[in-house]
Structure 1
């Protein structure tokens, strides 16, 4: 795990935009023959959303949750020249270089909490992860979960760690409860947070967290708040390690929010 690596692909065909996404991701074909949901570095949330997507997705996988493969996707500077849609053309031009893509789950069905219920253990694992990452985007309105081959898959962690868009009071954020858990789509099905907490804390060692953070490309770590990419990477490590050490804070918040639903 200390040598975690992501595959790299080249984008060869822009298939269709996914306009329901705030950052306007797209389905694209890569030179390995597969379709991907392509997340653009030139989109509104920029490289921060890609960093959050990478960290959230790979940590979800390490914790045993279903997550489509994440790859680095290179976009050539000539790629957008023939795109007739001016808005899309601008996005493609702004995203030349290394982007992030997630394997497209063809035929997957969006999780509907009215139709399907999941078991309390899986629900508790997903809620724990989202509290840990401060992921505000797993609500009934936008579940960001798919059923594919009769299994529940997580997608889109780009809204995680929202504090890193400004880094305001970022050290304090690591020890804060995640109050938005009250809106989590799976909260009514949660009952095993304490058990999950013990398991996940043992899995998320500093070495594992370091391995995930080491995968972040240098060119994405260019926040002017820090003096270097190494300093920015260390800030992410501090946040994640501190959050693991103080997980009882967000576990209690989730349990209290669950109690209010009963």
Structure 2
């Protein structure tokens, strides 16, 4: 089968609909020039561009693994977009987010996943736990599941807290082979009984070529904001190498998850 390079569409934001005041990132529902609604993640909010990079890589890895993710798009915000916004805090956010942002297709009518009311089979739970351990995603807990039920199916959202190594990249090689202790708080850990089977399956899917194709989606404009790297490509390359090294040593984070699950049950 031909390996198709993943692509993201680019839309222009035409209307700010309403803020979603959740966490520190202040996402919003916005309308674009394709007449669809999106959950817009702003480059000027919270952890800024690093959160957008984690959102992009995490979302596209989830999609590559066959997990349900709303479509991700690049969202262009023009210079004068927030000029008539009456809320000063939102106006500041829009002003600092001019340029290319990231957005997820809005799943109208979706409800938040409730671990007490919604059941997840053991294979799906194992797939999500494995992926979050790979990505070091700390934000899939019972308090904040970052999963939705839409048309009776489970959808993943919000990967902006993943890949936290990129907040201190100097020792990325060391961080790539560390266990992920926070997996003990994962909302689906108790059901994740098939981690070894999923590990073998998913490592075959996430080839170096696939990883590099996903990382290649990061816009140049989101990279090299400090003096850590000599070039944009050197910065981009660390994301690929981090994930490739973590995959090559996946038994470390798989064992950590298995031990944490045994402690639960």
TM-score interval, smaller chain = over 0.9
| Counterpart for residue 12 of structure 1 | 14
Residue 143 in structure 1 maps to residue 145 in structure 2: yes
Separation of aligned partners in 1, 2:129 and 2:74 = 27
- Secondary structure, aligned partner of 2:169: coil
- Secondary structure, aligned partner of 2:7: coil
Task: Give the one of 237, 240, 255 matched to 2:240.
Answer: 237
Deviation at 1:2, TM superposition (A): 4.8
Deviation at 1:37, TM superposition (A): 0.2
Separation of aligned partners in 2, 1:229 and 1:168 = 16
Deviations 1:93-132 (A, max 9, x none): 0000000000000000100001112100000000000000
Deviations 1:127-181 (A, max 9, x none): 0000000000000000000000110000000000112012142110110111000
Structure 2 gap ranges (5+) = none
TM-score normalised by length of structure 2: 0.97
CA RMSD of aligned residues (A): 0.8
Deviations 1:239-259 (A, max 9, x none): 000011000100000000000
Task: Give the one of 28, 31, 37 matched to 1:29.
Answer: 31
Contact 1:2 1:208 in 2 (8 A): no
Deviations 1:166-221 (A, max 9, x none): 21421101101110000000011110000000000000000000100111000001
Separation of aligned partners in 1, 2:167 and 2:147 = 24
| Counterpart for residue 258 of structure 1 | 261
TM-score normalised by length of structure 1: 0.99
Contact 1:3 1:211 in 2 (8 A): yes
Residue 158 in structure 1 maps to residue 173 in structure 2: no
| Counterpart for residue 180 of structure 1 | 182
Deviation at 1:5, TM superposition (A): 1.1
Structure 1 runs of 4+ aligned residues shifted over 2 Å read none
Contact 1:2 1:207 in 2 (8 A): no
Moved more, 161-170 or 238-247: 161-170
Residue 226 in structure 1 maps to residue 237 in structure 2: no
Structure 1 gap ranges (5+) = none
Deviations 1:59-87 (A, max 9, x none): 00000000000000000000010000000
Separation of aligned partners in 2, 1:153 and 1:137 = 15
Separation of aligned partners in 2, 1:216 and 1:65 = 21
Separation of aligned partners in 1, 2:177 and 2:81 = 43
Separation of aligned partners in 2, 1:168 and 1:259 = 34
Deviations 1:220-239 (A, max 9, x none): 01232111110011101110
Contact 1:223 1:232 in 2 (8 A): no
